[in-house]
Structure 1
């Protein structure tokens, strides 16, 4: 009897199919509009992502905006989580005013980006929170809990079957040859022992996975 425990391997394919929801945060510093968020939303722990920025200023016509280029020549960007912080390199997107910084978030929770420096003489010193990073549960299918329940049921059935086999062997309901000096009986016991060991290993693997 074999107990196979399946895992989900395709998170990157799920992430690639998610359209950005653009739940970004925007702040204003004098004439500049600074927007920060994740390139792929929702952000998931352990999955490669980008911190995405958009920096604009009023355009030539009323109500219009244009991208600001070369911002991070004089502005430093730092990503923060709890008491940890890291200065990040920011790359320019082909679109004027758009920037990004590759990152793999390693913890769930709230991240913040700090900008310090100057844009054409305007002092920039702000902190912008971005969308919380979530656990892989947001992408898991089938859900880990339901999968665990199915595994536990399978293990219970295996244990019950093993107990029945042992009972039949002891009661003589399952017969083994006695003409070979008890070798058949020994093999039967050995087979049941191997089955028991397999079940124990499966239980250990299930506990470790959780």
Structure 2
């Protein structure tokens, strides 16, 4: 009975992780965490959307996960199978800890973002969200479905950064 309960807990936690694993992608470089995703998910061809860029001070956990090669859900699933749900629970709790990031403000004029979709490059104008420090929006109107490439580059504290992201696929419609 306890084994069945353990398996049920692991399945419920896995489903919970899928809900929390939204399509935003992040990278930690030096002391900063850069995150890119869509304002409305999934992005739909022919409908206006925003690329969301979040820049924050990287926490110690962010830096540690980067050095360890970013713990992936599949690794946690394997650990849960081998060592039971207790370790799985602890790992997912540390990943989902409610650490409020310190947003880096004032970058709307120094960061540049372009999106390449099906070979066509579009440059975005960023606007900072006044209520969410370190969060920037760039309006984008995808014409067709496909796999976008978001290229972010600019300067923070006199150091240049250049990062490429592969956010969620733009679809032709929601099924």
User: TM-score band, normalised by the shorter chain?
Assistant: 0.5 to 0.7
TM-score, normalised to structure 2, is: 0.61
The root-mean-square deviation of aligned C-alpha atoms, in Å, is: 2.5
Bigger RCO of structures 1 and 2 (CA < 8 A, at least 6 apart): 2
**Contact 1:21–1:41 at 8 Å: present in 2 too?**
no
Alpha-carbon spacing, 1:21–1:133, altered in 2? closer, same or farther (3 Å): farther
Larger radius of gyration: 1
**Could you list the runs of 5+ residues in structure 2 that have no partner in the other structure?**
1-19, 60-98
Q: Write the distance in 2 (CA, Å) between the matches of 1:84 and 1:48.
A: 17
User: Which residue matches 2:13?
Assistant: none
Q: Take 1:83 and 1:24, find their aligned partners in 2: how far apart are those partners?
A: 22
Q: Deviations over 1:151-178 (max 9, x none)?
A: xxxxxxxxxxxxxxxxxxxxxxxxxxxx
Match of residue 121 from structure 1: 158
Pair 1:68–1:41, CA change in 2 (3 A): same
What residue is the counterpart of 1:103 in the other structure?
140
Mapped contact 2:43–2:49 kept (Cα < 8 A): yes
Change (3 A) 1:100 1:119: same
Q: Which of 131, 139, 150 is matched with 2:168 structurally?
A: 131
Flag the 1:80–1:69 CA change in 2: closer, same or farther, 3 A.
same
How many aligned residue pairs are there? 119
- 8 Å Cα contact 1:78-1:87 kept in structure 2: yes
Deviation of 1:69 after TM superposition, in Å, equals 0.5
Q: Which residue of 2 aligns with 1:22?
A: 22
Cα distance, 1:82 vs. partner?
3.0
Partner of 2:108: 72
Unaligned runs of 5+ in 1: 1-19, 140-210
Output aligned runs, 1:156-167, within 5 Å: none
User: What do the CA deviations read for 1:174-203 (whole angstroms, capped 9, x no partner)?
Assistant: xxxxxxxxxxxxxxxxxxxxxxxxxxxxxx
